[in-house]
Amino acid sequence: MTVSFDPKKMQGAAPGQVTVAEAAGRALVDAGVSVVNCVPATGAASIFEAWKRFSGREKPYHYHEEVAMGMAMGASLTGQRSAVVIKAHGFAKAGNAMVDAWSFGAEGGLVVIVAADREGRSSDTIFDSTALVAGTKLPFRHLGPDEVYVGIIDAYGRSESMGMPVVLVVEDDDLAGYIPAPPNSFMPVRKVVAPESDPLRHVLFPGNSNYPHQVAEAKLAGRDWRVILRPELPVIPDGLPEKFHAAIRSYMPVFDVLQSLRSQIDFIMGDTGTSSLFVCPPYSLVDATTYYGGSITMAAGALSAGARKAWAITGDWTFTAAGHLGLHEAFHQDLPVKVLIFHNRAAVATGGQLLDEALFERHLKGYPEFVRRVEASDDANLHDTLQSAQLSDRMEIMVVDFA
């Protein structure tokens, strides 16, 4: 149930007036946005609170901007509309996800609202946020106070027509100011249809960086990206560089089990690492891969947008470095993500640097009731462990230990 946009009920407002933040929050409701992720900051929080009030929904704040963006990207894959509401410094903190978002694109509309603190009134530094946003190459627009409501509505149409996230920059100081209440401008009701999986566009890794880049450039130029020649992915394992062969062969029994469960899984998300090479035939299992450590965030994001079952595959090094941030958020929001960790004690993709085992185990100790461990060589137990996790309605962390 949504709350009426009645300016007479806005605290402190003159008749017929609302705050800019309230106009922004209402626009998110009228645009039919399903998922709104916000890390608290002065201006960003006021928009998020307004959205919660008008939508009648309760949702917790996020703790990390990169995770908030990664989850919005996962939500977009379901076809639902999503938003990320953060301050300019938070945009910088989410930089890895933002850079990947340019190549990754958007299915359901994805809009990032950045509250810029031009005077540094509530920030540790003053910096050129416009230059930072422009550097990502994402489509963006500055909105004045009177443009916020219509600008947000229009941004969702632009995001979906282009197939890319759109960034809107608003000034922190403007958000508490009053403007005439804009007339409600509901976007046409649309039937949300989950897009077909397209790993060539959504799996970003060194063997597939050129095609998504070409697609993004075509979208920005207004050209038809569908006419771009689609590459063929190499066949596992022999089509991949020899340095990956041993690891790939050791992973194959795990992916054989995952393949047997594939029809029951809505999304399988990967990290930029060796395990994500199983996007390649004959397995063709990974739906999407973005930044290092992003698999858990994207799987959690898909679940937050209504997906039933979503898996995240990651390596032990990646999980220790960054993936645990997404795990914290999945736990915080009670999202039943299935996390599959390949514990081979090294960073295989970058030369075999040894893992700090004590640090890895310390991360896992925070979630003892969710952890299942199994030896990679134990075929029967491996199948039972993964199948039991798939049937579970809670978060599961499966650690596959390699000799």
Contact of 281 with 298, CB cutoff 8 Å:
no
Considering the domain architecture, whether residues 238 and 171 belong to the same structural domain is answered as no
Beta strand pairing status for 166-171 and 140-142? parallel
Q: Are residues 166 and 33 part of one domain?
A: yes
Q: Is 11 exposed, middle or buried (0-12, 13-18, 19+ CB in 10 A)?
A: exposed
Residue 301 belongs to a domain: yes
With both helix axes pointing from N to C terminus, report the angle between 42-55 and 20-30 in degrees, rounded to the nearest 10: 50
- pLDDT tens digits for 295-313? 999 999 999 999 999 999 9
pLDDT tens for 141-182 read 999 999 999 999 999 999 999 999 999 999 999 999 999 998
Could you tell me if residue 298 is inside a domain?
yes
Q: Is residue 281 part of a domain?
A: yes
303 in the same domain as 378: yes
Q: Are residues 277 and 376 in the same domain?
A: yes
Q: What is the mean pLDDT of residues 118-139?
A: 89
Do residue 256 and residue 386 come from a single domain? Answer: yes
Our count of domains for the chain comes to 2
How far does CA 20 lie from the centroid of its chain?
27
Examine the domain organization and report whether 281 and 377 are in the same domain: yes
Sorting pLDDT into bands at 50, 70 and 90, what band is 370? very high
In this predicted structure, what is the pLDDT of residue 8? 44
- The single residue listed with the structure tokens 């309230």 is 22
Same domain, 257 and 395: yes
Residue 194 belongs to a domain = no
Question: Do residue 175 and residue 238 come from a single domain?
Answer: no
Boundary (domain end) residue, out of 146, 162, 180: 180
228 inside domain: no
CATH number of the domain encompassing residue 152: 3.40.50.970
The pLDDT mean for the chain works out to: 93
51 and 161 in a common domain: yes
Asked if residue 355 has pLDDT above 50, the reply is: yes
Give, in degrees to the nearest 5, the angle at Cα 302 between 244 and 271. Answer: 15
- Say if residues 153 and 27 touch (Cβ distance below 8 Å): yes
Confidence of residue 120 (pLDDT cuts 50, 70, 90): confident
- Position 374 in a domain: yes
Cβ–Cβ under 8 Å, residues 152 and 27: yes
Angle, in degrees to the nearest 10, between helices 65-77 and 295-304: 60
What does the pLDDT average to over 310-329?
97
pLDDT at 321 > cutoff 80: yes
- Judgement on whether residues 174 and 241 belong to the same structural domain of the protein: no
The reply to whether 188 falls in a domain is: no
Residue 38 has pLDDT above 90, yes or no: yes
Amino acid identity at 236: I
Range of the domain at 70: 7-180
Position 208 in a domain: no
DSSP assignment letter at 203: B
Q: Is the same domain home to 290 and 397?
A: yes
Question: Which of 118, 145, 180 is the C-terminal boundary of a domain?
Answer: 180
Note whether 278 and 150 are same-domain residues.
no
77's tokens: 């894959």
Look at the block and give the residue holding tokens 């450590």. Answer: 293
Last residue of a domain, one of 165, 180, 195: 180
